Amino acid sequence: MRNFYLMGGAALAAIITFSLPIVTVQAQQRGSTDETITFFYYEDVAVAAPFYEDLLGFEKTMDQDWVKIYRITPTSSVGLVQQGHGFHDVSDDKPAMLSIVTKNIDAWYEFLVEADVVVRKELPDNQSKLKPTDAPVRGFVVEDPGGYTVEFFSWRNLE
């Protein structure tokens, strides 16, 4: 019985060892990530905001009336989105979105398109102009295998 475990461990180590170069190449192709934001959608953001800000004590890092973002850790946040804005409607089957912030937005887009991931919103051209009411981001949206929305974006300046 003991030999079985040793052999199994050796086989697993061999699989991991041979898989590492592939993972490293894919990581270089897609780029790094900087932070994550999970967005929840509400009929009235003003009702949900005190829970995150006052009760939980999370720091508000963005407030554009229709979207508020609260820092949970140095690299993760929760975003609250007002009904009628953002990517979802509160009546959607899965009104939540994981957002992955990266400086390598183009590399991630190319990587996921090549992997045949379902793209729900294309990456806009670099030259697109932002209005003051727009979220200060450049990004795209994909669907995970369970139908959940995953957004990749990079922060932009409004100037």
Q: Which two tokens stand for residue 23?
A: 């993972």
- The CA-based angle 124-128-132, given to 5 degrees, is 115
Q: Domain residues of the chain, as ranges?
A: 1-30, 32-155
Task: Supply the pLDDT for residue 132.
Answer: 66
**Model pLDDT, residue 129:** 66
Average pLDDT over residues 4-19: 36
| Higher pLDDT among residues 17 and 76, named by residue | 76
Rounded to two decimals, what is the model's pTM? 0.62
For the domain 32-155, what is the CATH superfamily, name and number? 2,3-Dihydroxybiphenyl 1,2-Dioxygenase, domain 1 (3.10.180.10)
Q: Is 80 exposed, middle or buried (0-12, 13-18, 19+ CB in 10 A)?
A: buried
At residue 91, the pLDDT reads 84
pLDDT in tens, 129-139: 666 667 788 99
CA distances from 152 to 24, 81, 88, 91, 137 (A): 20, 17, 15, 23, 10
